Amino acid sequence: MVATQLDGRILNLTNLDKPMFPTGFSKGEVLAYLLDVAGALLPAISDRCVTRVRFPDGTASEAFYEKNPPPGCPDWVGRQRVATSSGSEFLTPSTRPELAYLGNLGTLEFHAPQWRISEATDSPEGIVLGGDDEPRADTFVVDLDPGDGLRPADSARAAILAATALAELGLVGHVKTSGNKGLQISVPIHPTPCSEVHEFASAFSAHLASRHPATFVATMALEARRGKVYVDAHQNLASRNTIAAYSLRGVEQPSVATPLTWDELAAVDETQSRFRYSPAEVLERLDRLGDLWAVVHDESARQVLPAPPTD
């Protein structure tokens, strides 16, 4: 164990040499990445109830989702009570020590909902999931999940078609990789009840599938999704969450959910075999391009969600 101090907090770090990926990326390297990327990752998860995916023995072993504080969680790690059927108390990391504490527990993935805690509700009862006074979302997400047989070039073309359809509705979206196979387009919006956003997302998914039936499908049936891109509207439900920009993913090789420019996506060709950006590549991109995801958190970039498409 290594005892260290970070921004005034005492951390007891363990097993820093433990490989977290089959390729050998260690827990110490995970922690170094989290601290290096904190300036971009924290805005993507701050003021949100974060669900974590922990890999205590690395991605080659069993993982589990975690919402509630783990046993022994320090009192300086932020928390938010949310009224659900199970009475969840989420963690709300917003500082580097909190990231390091969670990373030391084997947390690789940080997932967040489309709503902010501070804007979710005016109810004196606080945030309630599944009730009448639902949270208000500040983001609408178009989650694009490629079916079997599709290549990155196919996914890139699908994302551009989706962005074009958004533009026809007066909306500007911003794209990132999921860190795995998919792409996600986020549209910053003025706070809107999650049920309305989900209704819009469902209509938009059906709209894409109707206009481009050879490319998109709006149904979860696996048979229908083969060779097409599934548009998952349900990621806009108040109870759901998506991978945060700049989060690692628990896959075979170290991979990060990475914001892209639309020009980069348009340049994807048939030779590209995957959407994978390593931690080192992401840090280099931040130095070179800045935080491409900052606009998603910029209140001045928020847009009014229009009426749902009807075709």
Q: How many whole angstroms separate alpha carbon 104 and alpha carbon 16? A: 8
Average per-residue pLDDT for the chain = 94
* pLDDT value, residue 120: 87
Domain presence at residue 309: no
* Single-letter amino acid code for the residue at 154: D
Pairing of strands 216-217, 229-231: parallel
Instruction: State the pLDDT confidence band at 93, using cuts at 50, 70 and 90.
Output: very high
> Is pLDDT larger for residue 30 or for residue 85?
30
Domain presence at residue 219: yes
Domain presence at residue 185: yes
* pLDDT value, residue 85: 67
In the numeric block, which tokens belong to residue 134? 């639902």
* pLDDT value, residue 183: 98
Nearest alpha-carbon partner for 225 in 145, 141, 311? 145
Name every residue whose Cβ is closer than 8 Å to that of residue 223 and which is 6 or more positions away in sequence: none
SS (H, E, C) the chain: CEEEEECCEEEEECCCCCECCCCCCEHHHHHHHHHHHHHHHHHHHCCCCEEEEECCCCCCCCCEEECCCCCCCCCCCCEEECECCCCCEEECCCCHHHHHHHHHCCEEEEEECCECHHHCCCCCCCCECCCCCCCEEEEEEEEEEECCCCCHHHHHHHHHHHHHHHHHCCCCCEEEECCCCCEEEEEEEEEEEHHHHHHHHHHHHHHHHHHCCCCEECCCCHHHHCCCEEECHHHHCCCCCEECCCCEECCCCCEECCECCHHHHHCCCCCCCCCCCCHHHHHHHHHHHCCCCHHHHCHHHCECCCCCCCC
What's the rounded mean pLDDT across residues 172-191?
A: 97
The whole-angstrom distance between residue 240's C-alpha and the CA centroid of its chain comes to 11
Q: How many whole angstroms separate alpha carbon 34 and alpha carbon 19? A: 16
**Predicted TM-score (pTM) of this structure:** 0.96
User: Residue 213 maps to which CATH number?
Assistant: 3.90.920.10
How many folded domains does the chain comprise? 1
Q: How many whole angstroms separate alpha carbon 260 and alpha carbon 302? A: 19
* pLDDT value, residue 224: 66
Domain presence at residue 286: yes
What's the rounded mean pLDDT across residues 148-177?
A: 97
* pLDDT value, residue 125: 73
* pLDDT value, residue 123: 79
Instruction: State the pLDDT confidence band at 87, using cuts at 50, 70 and 90.
Output: low
Q: What percent of the chain has pLDDT over 70?
A: 97
* pLDDT value, residue 270: 84
Domain presence at residue 14: yes
C-alpha dist (Å) from residue 166 to 2, 15, 27: 50, 47, 40
Write out pLDDT tens, residues 284-306. 999 999 999 999 999 999 999 99
Q: How many whole angstroms separate alpha carbon 186 and alpha carbon 176? A: 8
Domain coverage including residue 79: 2-301
Domain presence at residue 272: yes
Domain presence at residue 308: no
The whole-angstrom distance between residue 65's C-alpha and the CA centroid of its chain comes to 14
* pLDDT value, residue 220: 73
Write out pLDDT tens, residues 35-86. 999 999 999 999 999 999 999 999 999 999 999 999 999 999 999 999 876 6
Domain presence at residue 310: no
Q: How many whole angstroms separate alpha carbon 135 and alpha carbon 125? A: 12
Q: Answer yes or no: is pLDDT of 275 > 80.
A: yes
In the numeric block, which tokens belong to residue 51? 């669900």
What's the rounded mean pLDDT across residues 114-125?
A: 88
Write out pLDDT tens, residues 228-272. 999 999 999 999 999 999 999 999 999 999 999 999 999 998 888
